[in-house]
Amino acid sequence: MHHDVHWMQLDSRGQGDGMQYALVEGVPQEATSGANGICGQCGAPAVAKCGPKVMHHWAHAGRKNCDPWWENETEWHSAWKNLFPSQCREVSHTAPTGEVHRADIKSPGGLYIEVQHSAMTDAERSSREEFYKNLVWIVDARKFASSFSLHHILPDPSLEWAQDLAWVRVSRPPSSHSANGMYFKFSLIAKDKAEWPEGNMHEVFSLHHIMGQVEASYIGHHQYHWRRPHTTWLSATCPVYLDFGTERMMRLETYPVGNIPCVRLISKSRLIADLLSKTSAGDVCL
């Protein structure tokens, strides 16, 4: 599915410009037709762009935004920003080195939230993680929805019985057996190896037979398959939430039993509530 056609480009001229706020007489204000302001970060003149076919925004009077990390704002960006109080949006942060960047959102509790629509290199991703430290990523996943498939549920990995299950990693399309949930048992593998050290055959089990037990202990974990993944998100050190445009957000994780890639399903309303109330990125939706 392709949704890009519904998104409005802010400014065909300016690459990576477009801000929700500029200072007018020292006060952050949204763009209104004919208004003049200054960029709160660099102090350069900002011009209100309020054409009939663009989302109202500010742009630097020169060609470029002063922040090389700034991303041209889409409706998707502003929808996320608008979930937070206005004083939380487009907040500048200065590192001890003097480097300054403007975060999309700084929560009331001090979390930095970057809402990312465009693809990103590993270098960019890790430099932002290093810069903001207490950072949560919200990634626009709508453009890769067709190459991403959600697979079977996994039990709460903190449970003792769940820690004996060695899940077969999903590596094929949804119709395959692994996608329906197959597992070995670590205890039986150890027993087999003790009895027959050269052997490599172990009994395999189907999720189907323990579905009730797994469902009862389900806290949101699933295996998934991502064709042509955007690997930088898999290497992120700060939490990454994929937004497929529904109420169901997916956090990229590693399932600790067997260290297989998994996602954790989290409702968007719960995520927003936690982003508004928590002070540490690691405490969000625990």
How many other C-beta atoms can be found within 10 angstroms of the C-beta atom of residue 188? 15
Which residue's CB is nearer to Zn ion, number 41 or number 134?
41
Task: Tell me, by CB under 5 A, how many residues bind Zn ion.
Answer: 4
- Decide if residue 20 touches Zn ion (CB under 5 A): no
Partnered with residue 241 across adjacent β-strands are 138, 251
Binding to Zn ion, residues 119-178 (CB under 5 A):
none
Q: How far is the CB of 42 from Zn ion (least distance, A)?
A: 3
**Segment near Zn ion (CB under 5 A); pick from 40-48, 167-175, 187-195, 249-257:** 40-48
- Greatest C-alpha distance within the chain: 82
The least distance separating Zn ion from the CB of residue 128, rounded to whole angstroms, comes to: 18
- Residues in contact with Zn ion, shown as a per-residue x/- string from 246 to 275 under the rule CB under 5 A: ------------------------------
Token digits of residue 25: 């007489």
Nearer to Zn ion, 35 or 42 (CB): 42
What track of x and - describes contact with Zn ion for positions 66 through 85 (by CB under 5 A)?
x-------------------
Question: Does 100 help bind Zn ion (rule: CB under 5 A)?
Answer: no
What is the amino acid identity at position 71?
Answer: E
Residue 41 binding Zn ion, by CB under 5 A? yes
Here the tokens at position 283 are 């405490």
Task: Name which of 28 and 109 has its Cβ closer to Zn ion.
Answer: 28
207 counts as binding Zn ion under rule CB under 5 A: no
Confirm or reject binding of residue 19 to Zn ion (CB under 5 A): no
- 42 or 159: CB nearest Zn ion: 42
Nearer to Zn ion, 39 or 252 (CB): 39
**Run of H or E residues at 215:** helix 211-216
Distances (CA, A) of 122 to 20, 233, 235: 27, 8, 8
**Window of 41-49, 97-105, 188-196, 233-241 that interacts with Zn ion by CB under 5 A:** 41-49
Identify the residue among 22, 39, 115, 138 touching Zn ion (CB under 5 A): 39
Laid out side by side, the sheet with 182-185 consists of 165-167, 182-185, 205-206
Count Cα atoms within 13 angstroms, Cβ side, for 53. Answer: 5
Asked if 42 is part of the footprint of Zn ion (rule: CB under 5 A), the reply reads yes
CB of 110 to Zn ion, least distance (A): 23
Q: How far apart are CA 216 and CA 162, in angstroms?
A: 12
Kindly state the smallest distance separating residue 67's Cβ from Zn ion, in Å.
7
Q: Which residue carries 């009939």 as its tokens?
A: 52
Q: Does 47 bind Zn ion (CB under 5 A)?
A: no
Edge-to-edge strands of the sheet including 148-153? Answer: 89-94, 100-106, 112-116, 135-140, 240-243, 248-255, 260-267, 221-226, 148-153
Query: Please, which residues have CB within 8 angstroms of residue 196's CB and are 6 or more apart in sequence?
Result: none
Residues near Zn ion, by CB under 5 A: 39, 41-42, 66
